[in-house]
Structure 1
Amino acid sequence: MTRVLITGATGGLGRDAVDRALAEGWRVTATGRRGGGVLRALAAQGARTYQADLVSLPEKLVLELMDLHDVVWRCAALAAPWGARADFIEANVDMPAGLFEAAARAGVSTFAHISSPALYAGRRDVQELARAHPHTRLVIQRPRVIFGPHDQVVFPRMLNFLARHHDCLVLPNGGRALVDLVYVENVVEALILASQFNVASGSVFNISNGEPVVLRDALTTLLRVMRRKVDVLSLPYSLLRGVLAVDEWIARRTNREPSLTAHTLGAMAFDMTLDIRAAEHRLGYKPLVSMEEALRRTAKWLKRTDGLAVKVP
């Protein structure tokens, strides 16, 4: 029986990862910063649970946590469009590097690391550690904008924006950007494959739904299924960027997240698609859930939860 440690199990991706691993008959240890109902629910499903902030967890306890596991799925991350740079580096660079080194010392055979396509802009991740620890196979996956049930980043923030702006959806350049997204179940499928296929350590795979969509079409489809009537306002990117610069300046001084950040604006304004052929050919990756069905499921979940899965500050 495969023994898997899943970090970030109280987040959107982590919760689905635990569900899938248990369905596969694996022995699951699930960790998360938030305890309470989520960890209790995962324990009731059959997972062994552990509440901990892995950023501050002592090295000895991290090693004990890694012990007796065959596979680690690193789903824990600081995923947000706003925050202190030092916090992102600590949670998304330093912490996963430390986890991988602990996994190697504990004899874990495979470490699947959820990374980000943002690294194509220049920042390195834990890939260089693969050469230093050849007995633990490191597989890096870079999903593009994960969405679905329990999403705490993407669509909840859009709904929060609509609530603040009287159901007016502001899109740069009319929302004409062609973008790749990925449904959460498809990311979990990629994790399963990464744990089973004997690919070279340090391999990097882009993960998406393989169906690039026009941003405006995806958003309006989702809102239509939710039966939300909104007005769409198209504004030039340059104008919005200037307005946001002022809003972000105020936000830094009032310790609040702006309703729209430059990071999110850029993702909405410019085309970005990923080549997933390496994952298809070397992992046998094929999205299980189409974009149409993924948007429908997500919309139904958001509607059922009244769009309040997360309260954005």
Structure 2
Amino acid sequence: MAPIPASEKAPLGNVLVIGGCGFLGHHLVDLILESYKASVSVLDLYTTRNRRPDSDGVSYYNGDITDLSSILPVFEKTKPDVVIHTASPTAVDGAKALFKKVNVDGTKVVIEACQKSGVKALVYTSSASIISDSVNDLINADERWPVIPASAQSEYYSLTKAEAEAFVLAANRSPTCPKLLTCAIRPSGIFGPGDVQQTPGFLNAYYNGQTGFQLGSNDNLFDFTYVTNIAHAHLLAARALIYTSTLSHPLQDLEKVDGEAFLITNDSPVYFWDFARAIWKAAGNERGTEHVWVIGQSLGMGVATLLKWISWVTRKPARLTPLQVKYSCMTRYLDIGKAKKRLGYAPLVSLQDGIELAVKWAIDEKAGEGEKKSQ
């Protein structure tokens, strides 16, 4: 993207990005600096990675969002107008206790810190997975689709994200703190530079010579979203909340952003294995599909279950999990009309450009790790 002249940058005031050294968080910081007038601070458990140069003026603070006494002094010092809360364990890495502690309990603490320090706008990173039970397809689903109840939600990560989102939205214009406006962004299939799940997973299959296998018939559309586009949606929401905070009365239902959740995608659903092959092609793969062996979902689930048990016995990670089989065979594409209309959202980076950027970053990282080992 071409640099935006300082005179054309939209003002955001003081912005605190929680989890700002993480995958999505550091892309948010980058985009704020590129496109907005703002004083930027970052709060993370550890702030040693993904830091901007000192010359960029970003302030970094270590803090534990599950402990009010740890983060409230940061809020009081930085005096944020906007808080963007992205902190969360990754969906595949956390244990149940960690998901509960960070996603639910930590978000409650963040809300309390916002209320105690006069924050105007809180934008929460939720997940599109909260409307998926990982069994039934999502076909052009939008925000009218219900959040999956705990009794039907098979993924504990998604359950905790849903609980946290509910707390955030309930805090909007609450009787005890009516000036705090909140909303939630629900990304789908986030990937990009710094990704530790999507891109590395597909690339590992390529490096391990597994491109000849396909789970399911590849007739399932899936939404993947480039990380900068998700950051863009968060900042559009923050702008809308700040604007709303200046009004003497709430916006009409079809206009309002505060108290609302927004699904975000690249607006380019793609067949699941076509996305995988686009990543493999960007990494150098020139083979077509003539060598591909299609494995049905039932057989794939049986193999994954067996590998799961072997993994439990050997204490080694399984190369295929039941969750991976489910995701690679299910249809999951979304209607983002609400975000388009109310936030003015449109992707900044196309799906193909995002794939090429993500793969280049991953290859460069792999090369850098190889150089370090050889030294």
TM-score (norm 2): 0.74
What's the counterpart of residue 145 of structure 1? 189
Which stretches in structure 2 are left out of the alignment for 5+ residues? 1-10, 132-147, 150-158, 245-255, 370-375
Structure 2 SS opposite 1:175:
coil
Say if 2:141 is the partner of 1:130.
Answer: no
Instruction: Give the superposed CA RMSD.
Output: 2.4
Q: CA deviation at 1:236?
A: 1.0
C-alpha distance 37-190 of structure 1, shift in aligned 2 (>3 A)? closer
* Distance (Å, rounded) in 2 between the aligned partners of 1:153 and 1:304: 17
* Stretches of 4+ aligned residues off by more than 4 angstroms: 229-232, 252-256
Q: Which residue of 2 aligns with 1:203?
A: 260
Deviation (angstroms), 1:98? 2.0
* 1:1-313 paired onto structure 2 within 5 Å: 2-23=13-34, 24-39=36-51, 41-55=52-66, 58-67=67-76, 68-120=79-131, 121-122=148-149, 123=159, 124=163, 125=165, 126=167, 127-130=169-172, 132=174, 133-163=177-207, 165-168=208-211, 170-197=213-240, 198=244, 199-228=256-285, 232-252=292-312, 256-306=316-366
Q: How many residues align?
A: 305
CA displacement, residues 185-238 of structure 1 (integer Å, 9 cap, x when unaligned): 111111111111133432010000111111111111121121035764421111
Query: What is the distance in 1 between the residues matched to 2:294 and 2:87?
Result: 35
Distance 1:26 1:66 in 2: 16
| Aligned partner letter, 1:226 | A
- Identical amino acids, percent of aligned pairs: 27
Conserved? CA contact 2:172–2:259, under 8 Å: yes
Larger Rg belongs to: 2
Residues 1:182 and 1:101: Cα distance change in structure 2 (over 3 Å): same
The answer as to whether partners of 1:174 and 1:233 remain within 8 angstroms in 2 is no
Against the structure 1 CA distance between its residues 266 and 47, is the aligned structure 2 distance closer, same or farther, given a 3 Å change threshold?
A: same
Structure 1 residue 178, shift from structure 2 partner: 0.4
Give 1:84 deviation, angstroms: 1.9
> Please, what TM-score do these two structures have when normalized by structure 1?
0.88
Separation in structure 2 between the aligned mates of residue 30 and residue 189 of structure 1, nearest angstrom:
17
CA distance in 2, matches of 1:26, 1:153: 31
CA deviation after TM superposition for structure 1 residue 293, in Å: 1.7
Return the letter of the residue paired with 2:170.
Answer: E
1:167 Cα deviation (Å)?
3.8
Is the 1:175–1:215 Cα contact (8 Å) retained in structure 2?
Answer: yes
Cα distance change of structure 1 residues 160 and 83 upon mapping to structure 2, 3 Å threshold: farther
Aligned residues of 1:182 and 1:209 also touching (Cα < 8 A) = yes
Deviation at 1:42, TM superposition (A): 4.9
Determine helix, strand or coil for the equivalent of 1:77. Answer: coil
